[in-house]
């Protein structure tokens, strides 16, 4: 009986709502109503798409380099496996060169048309 009373009292104590002192009382939160999202112009959409495409491509190059290096290490002296690993690393480096050229071409085209495509902020991490 004593355990039941103690556990009931403890449970009652834990279920009480306490005052949260994490933030002041005069906080104003601006929440945009549904359907009133800010529509970005075409240049912003292109910037965000290019940043995402370049980020994903760079990540894939890194992954393929790591896979190629792992294959090379695990080849155990097998010439065919070493050749496959070397080929994968070579193709990943060619992809990196193509990615760098695409980045430079995008930069030049952006300077010609007057849009700065080199804002390297991810759209979901940046501030408005």
More confident residue, 109 or 74: 74
Flag whether 76 is in a domain. yes
Return d(Cα 89, Cα 85) in angstroms, integer: 6
The pTM for the full model equals: 0.59
Return d(Cα 119, Cα 51) in angstroms, integer: 8
More confident residue, 18 or 5: 5
Flag whether 31 is in a domain. no
Task: Give the C-alpha distances (Å, rounded to integers) separating 32 from 23, 46, 71, 123.
Answer: 21, 24, 51, 18
Are 58 and 72 in contact by the 8 Å Cβ rule? The answer is: no
Average pLDDT (62-88) is 93
Query: Number of structural domains, the chain?
Result: 1
Flag whether 79 is in a domain. yes
Which two structure tokens, joined as six digits, stand for 54? Answer: 């370049």
């Amino acid at each position: 009986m004593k355990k039941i009373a103690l556990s009931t009292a403890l449970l009652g104590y834990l279920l009480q709502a306490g005052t949260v002192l994490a933030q002041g009382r005069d906080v104003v939160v601006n929440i945009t109503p549904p359907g009133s999202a800010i529509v970005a112009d075409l240049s912003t959409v292109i910037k965000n798409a290019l940043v995402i495409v370049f980020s994903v491509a760079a990540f894939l190059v890194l992954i393929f380099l790591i896979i190629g290096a792992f294959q090379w290490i695990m080849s155990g002296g097998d010439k065919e496996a070493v050749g496959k690993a070397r080929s994968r690393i070579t193709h990943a480096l060619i992809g990196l060169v193509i990615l760098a050229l695409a980045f430079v071409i995008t930069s030049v085209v952006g300077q010609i048309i007057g849009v700065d495509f080199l804002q390297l902020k991810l759209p979901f991490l940046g501030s408005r």
